Amino acid sequence: MKICIPVVADQGLNSQVNGHFGSAPYFAVCDTENNGIEIVQNDNAHHSHGMCHPLSVIRDKSIDVVVCNGMGMRAIQKLNEGGIKAYLADKDTVAEIIESYNSGKLQEITIENACQQHGCH
């Protein structure tokens, strides 16, 4: 299972979750099968509202899950169309989020509970 988490800085498992998925400076890609982690720089972090394309940055990483502080309906739709589920982060660091995910404690983000506007998380 590969989990993608938007992060503020390249600090491995200690990386702090970024507030927004598409504008995160980096993505932590965690492989739960081999306990590996890869930090990927988001070259698409600076964009106009609604114009982000984070999947283009992680396209070749075979992501199964995204865990973040929230995202809009269009982003959820794009992820789901690609077979990727999204979950709400319940902790602050990559290590803590992986632990929560493995414990089954994270809530899935769906069209019904997606962010409706800025400031929802």
CA distances from 91 to 52, 94, 111 (A): 24, 8, 22
CA distances from 14 to 7, 48, 87, 94, 117 (A): 10, 29, 19, 6, 29
Any idea what DSSP says for residue 104?
T
The structural domains of the chain, ordered by start, are 2-102 (3.30.420.130)
d(CA 53, CA 78): 10
Q: pLDDT digits over 47-94, tens only?
A: 444 445 556 567 788 999 999 998 888 888 888 998 999 999 999 999
Q: pLDDT digits over 15-58, tens only?
A: 999 987 878 899 999 999 999 999 999 876 544 444 455 565 67
- Of 77, 12, 27, which is closest to residue 57 (Cα–Cα)? 27
Q: Please identify which residue in the block is written with the tokens 């965690």.
A: 30
d(CA 82, CA 47): 22
20 with 27: CB under 8 angstroms? no
